[in-house]
Amino acid sequence: MTTHEDTVMSDFSRSHKRHHEYSYRLPTPPRIVVPPPTLTSEVPELTVSCLRTPDEELDTSFLKEMNLESIVQTNTLLEWAYERRRQAQMILPWLYLGPLTAAKDRDFLRREGITMVLAIRARDNSMNGALKIAKESCHEVATIEAANYFTLIGKFSETTRMINQHVAKFRKYTAAIGTPQLGKVLVFCESGNEKSAAVVAAYLMETLEEFDYIKSMQVCQAQRFCVNFDDTVKNILRSHWDILQARRAQVIPHLQAQQQSVLKPKRTIEDTRDDEDMDMGDSTDPSDVLRFVGRDITPFVDG
C-alpha cells in the first residue's frame, strides 16, 4: 500500500538527487578531516594578527617582528621518535607544548629559557609537584582547571590572554633594565597531547592572522606529532573559530561608518531588500541566500 509520504518523496526524487545515502542513526556533525603533516604539504604562513579587542591593554606588537617563516617542521614523519613524546616541543618562539614530565625537567626549563608554565589540569591541587619545581626556575606559574573539553572551551580566550599578558609584561620588565628578552610559556597537561594541545591550537587561532582550526591543528601536529585531536576536540575548536570570527566582525573601525552616515541618510530595510532582489534575479528570499548559498554540504542537488 502506497502512503502519502511515499508519494511525496517519489515526486520529490524526480527533481532532486540526494548527495548521500540515507542512514538510520542519530544525527552527527560532518567529520572534520585534518590532513597529516607530510613532506609535500604546504606549510601554513604564520603571521601575528594585528587585531585587538577594545578592552585589550597588552602591547604585543613586538611579536610581529618575529621571524616565523622556518619554525614549522616539514619532515616530522621522518624525524619523529617515540621518546620525544616525553619532551616538550616549540610551537612558536614564545610558546611550547609538552607533557607533565617536561614541566618537571629543571634542565629543560633553564636551557630553553622558559619563563612561565601554564598547567591545564582536571581539578585543583593536582600537578603540585611539577608546579613546585617550575616555581624554582620560572618567573610565573599559572593553572587552568577544566574537568572536560566542554568546560575548557569557555577558557580558551582566558588562556590566550594569560599567555600574551605574561609575554608582554616580561618584555616590558626586561626592556626597563636594558636587556629586552622574549618570554617563553610552556603549556602542559598530563600527556601534553590532549587538553594542552587544544589550548595551544586555540591560541594559534586567536593570535595568528587568518589561522583557522584546521591550520592550527596541522601546526600542532607538525611540531608535536603525538598530539591527539579526536572528533570532540575538532568540533570544539571549530566552534571556537566561529566565535572568534563573530567577535572579530565587531572589531571594525566605527569612524568610517559614522562618516558614511553623515554623508548620506541611513538605508532602510526595504531599500536593502530591493537591491538584493535585483542582484539575484529570481524570487529567492535573501534570508535563504544567506543560509544556503555557498554551503559545502547540502542534502540534495537538482536532478
Report pLDDT for 210: 87
Query: What region, left, alpha or beta, does residue 294 occupy, with left being phi > 0 and alpha being psi -120 to 50 degrees?
Result: left
Residues 238 and 260 grouped into a single domain:
no
Residues 180 and 288 grouped into a single domain:
no
Q: Which helix or strand (DSSP H or E) is residue 103 part of?
A: helix 100-103
pTM: 0.76
Q: Report whether 98 contacts 186 (CB < 8 A).
A: yes
Report pLDDT for 88: 97
Distances (CA, A) of 47 to 51, 61, 141, 226, 231: 12, 12, 27, 25, 27
Report pLDDT for 260: 64
Residues 238 and 286 grouped into a single domain:
no
**pLDDT score of 54 more than 50:** no
- Residue 294's pLDDT band (boundaries 50, 70, 90)? low
Residues 131 and 202 grouped into a single domain:
yes
Report pLDDT for 76: 73
Which residues span the domain enclosing 177?
61-250
Q: Helix count (H) and strand count (E) of the chain?
A: 13, 7
Report pLDDT for 252: 62
Residues 173 and 90 grouped into a single domain:
yes
Cα gap 85→226, rounded to integer Å: 6
Distances (CA, A) of 148 to 199, 204, 254: 12, 21, 39
Cα gap 242→236, rounded to integer Å: 10
Residues 230 and 267 grouped into a single domain:
no
Residue 14, in any domain of the structure? no
Residue 130, in any domain of the structure? yes
How many Cα atoms occupy the beta-carbon half-sphere of 95 within 13 Å? 27
Residues 186 and 264 grouped into a single domain:
no
Residue 195, in any domain of the structure? yes
Residues 115 and 235 grouped into a single domain:
yes
Give the residue carrying C-alpha cell 534570508: 287
Q: Is 269 exposed, middle or buried (0-12, 13-18, 19+ CB in 10 A)?
A: exposed
pLDDT tens-digit profile of 159-204? 999 999 999 999 999 999 989 999 999 999 999 999 999 999 999 9
- Sheet arrangement for strand 116-121: 89-92, 95-98, 185-188, 116-121, 140-145
Specify the CATH number for the domain of residue 90.
3.90.190.10
Residue 100, in any domain of the structure? yes
Three-state SS string across 256-280, please? Answer: HHHHHHHHCCCCCHHHHHHHHHHHH
Residues 102 and 192 grouped into a single domain:
yes
Cell of 228: 591527539
Average pLDDT (84-99) is 96
Q: Is 30 helix (H, G, I), strand (E, B) or coil?
A: coil
Return phi, psi of residue 205, to 5°.
-60, -40
Query: What region, left, alpha or beta, does residue 257 occupy, with left being phi > 0 and alpha being psi -120 to 50 degrees?
Result: alpha
How many Cα atoms occupy the beta-carbon half-sphere of 20 within 13 Å? 7
Return phi, psi of residue 189, to 5°.
-135, -165
Residues 114 and 243 grouped into a single domain:
yes
Paired with 98 in beta bridges are 188
- Look at residues 204, 201, 139, 168 and name the one whose alpha carbon lies nearest to residue 63: 168
Residue 52, in any domain of the structure? no
Residues 192 and 271 grouped into a single domain:
no
For 230-239, which contacts have Cβ atoms below 8 Å and span 24 or more sequence positions?
Answer: 231/31, 231/32, 232/149, 233/149, 233/194, 233/197, 233/198, 234/32, 234/34, 235/29, 235/32, 236/149, 236/150, 236/152, 236/153, 236/198, 237/198, 237/201, 237/202, 237/205, 237/213, 238/32, 238/213, 239/153
Residue 128, in any domain of the structure? yes
195-207 vs 156-176: helix crossing angle, rounded to 10: 70
Q: Mean pLDDT check: name the lowest of 50-59, 136-145, 173-182, 240-249.
A: 50-59
Residues 218 and 272 grouped into a single domain:
no
Report pLDDT for 62: 85
Q: How many domains does the chain have?
A: 2
Residue 48, in any domain of the structure? no
pLDDT tens-digit profile of 226-249? 999 999 999 999 999 999 999 888
Residue 37, in any domain of the structure? no
How much of the chain, in percent, has pLDDT values that exceed 70? 72
